[in-house]
Amino acid sequence: MNQVFMFDALREATDEEMEKDKSVFVLGEDVGHYGGSYKVTKDLHVKYGDLRVLDTPIAENSFMGMAIGAAITGLRPIVEGMNMSFLLLAFNQISNNAGMLRYTSGGNFKIPIVIRGPGGVGRQLGAEHSQRLEAYFQSIPGIKIVACSTPYNAKGLLKAAIRDDNPVIFFEHVLLYNLKQKVPDHEYVLPLDKAELVREGTQVTLVTYSRMRHHVMQAVNQLLKDGYDPEVIDLISLKPLDIETVSQSLMKTHKMIIVEECMKTGGIAAEIIAQINDNYFDFLDAPIVRLSSQDIPTPYNGTLEKATVIHPHQIIDSVRTLVSS
């Protein structure tokens, strides 16, 4: 086991897959000589050359289209978005081409493309650099969505995403790159469609993903001292949602809180609540609690920015209120 930062875990996954399969290549803004905005591709151009670690112009729609074309011809591109917010400029390519071409070609084309990069609310990055696009992309048919949350799952999930024959949007939180964790020396690959049961409990199910996993666990540490026994699920897969793992937990605890950094209106929590109400409503002893970000552009001001997202004390208060209800 090696102690590694999350950006190093992602770099190792990319390096190992590029070494194993010559059809794998990386493209994006500053991924080559600069090594990527968060150093996920650092020095890979030295090992693989400038054609397999390809610096592109600042033209997301153009290089996304190029990557999709490359995937159709049998290559396996990894597109790094310097910031996932900028993928809105390539939304048409991702939706109408990456998501649909395998279906509209009658299965003649595979689209093995990974679209990855930093997203989420950072520290005073401003509204246009603080987008959470997971809900934007969730309704697109033909696309898988993954949100890594630790160095361990980041490496195993990225390797699986690179090997998958379908387009995978791979969300990394901008504030988790310097998170450190022990990662196995041996090769491992994690499933792209499974949630992780982080902690077993009996009183309430806490469902979360990405950076909010760590806010939830901070809250859980305090709740345990206070005598509460929450169960924690990290969704990881946002499309398809692993509703089976979520529902099995609900059948045990009968109460649920969903904690997300996504906006409340039309967010991931909204979809989970809809599916639970459709199929597992009878197992609920109380309405599902939704803890989501404010429906406003993220302020640049640090104090206001902090007020827009969920923090551990809000999770603690919600658990206490729900369990006692």
Pull the structure tokens for residue 202: 């009996």
Q: What is the pLDDT of residue 62?
A: 95
Which is catalytic among the residues 45, 129, 173, 215? 129
Q: What are φ and ψ of residue 160, in 5° steps?
A: -65, -40
Q: At what angle do helices 312-324 and 212-225 cross, to 10 degrees?
A: 50
How many percent of the chain have pLDDT more than 90?
98
End-to-end CA distance of the chain: 44
Round to whole Å and give the CA distance between 266 and 253: 25
Partners of 199 in beta bridges? 232
Round to whole Å and give the CA distance between 59 and 39: 20
Considering the chain, what is the average pLDDT of its residues? 96
* Nearest in space to 308 (alpha carbons), one of 117, 84, 122: 122
Does 129 participate in catalysis according to the annotation? yes
For residue 303, pLDDT beyond 90: yes
**CATH architecture designation of domain 2-183:** 3-Layer(aba) Sandwich (3.40)
* Nearest in space to 77 (alpha carbons), one of 143, 144, 26: 26
What is the phi-psi region of residue 43: left when phi exceeds 0, alpha when psi lies from -120 to 50, beta otherwise? left
* Nearest in space to 80 (alpha carbons), one of 42, 122, 109: 42
For residue 39, pLDDT beyond 90: yes
Residue that the structure tokens 């190792």 belong to:
12
Residue 325 binned pLDDT confidence (cut-offs 50, 70, 90): confident
Round to whole Å and give the CA distance between 136 and 94: 11
**Contact by Cβ (8 Å): 268, 290:** no
Q: What is the pLDDT of residue 227?
A: 96
CA diameter of the chain: 61
Host H or E run for residue 219:
helix 212-225
Which is catalytic among the residues 60, 134, 261, 271? 60
**Contact by Cβ (8 Å): 189, 159:** yes
For residue 295, pLDDT beyond 90: yes
Mean pLDDT of 271-282: 96
Q: What is the pLDDT of residue 1?
A: 85
Q: What is the pLDDT of residue 101?
A: 95
DSSP-derived 3-state class of residue 172:
strand
Round to whole Å and give the CA distance between 162 and 116: 11
List strand residue ranges (DSSP E) for the chain, in order. 2-5, 24-28, 53-55, 76-80, 114-119, 144-147, 168-173, 180-183, 196-199, 204-208, 230-234, 237-239, 256-263, 289-293
For residue 97, pLDDT beyond 90: yes
Which fold is adopted by the domain 196-324? Rossmann fold (3.40.50)
CB contact burial 16-33 (16+ within 10 A = b; e otherwise): bbbeeeebbbbbbbebbe
For residue 231, pLDDT beyond 90: yes
Mean pLDDT of 252-265: 96
Q: What is the pLDDT of residue 109?
A: 95
Residues across the chain: 325
DSSP state of 181: E
Question: Going by DSSP bridges, is the β-strand pair 204-208/53-55 parallel, antiparallel, or unpaired?
Answer: unpaired
For residue 209, pLDDT beyond 90: yes
- What lies within 8 Å, CB to CB, of 169 at 6+ separation is 94, 115, 116, 137, 143, 144, 145, 146
CB contact burial 138-168 (16+ within 10 A = b; e otherwise): bebebbbbbbbbbbbbbbbbbbbbbbbebbb
The domains of the chain are located at: 2-183, 196-324
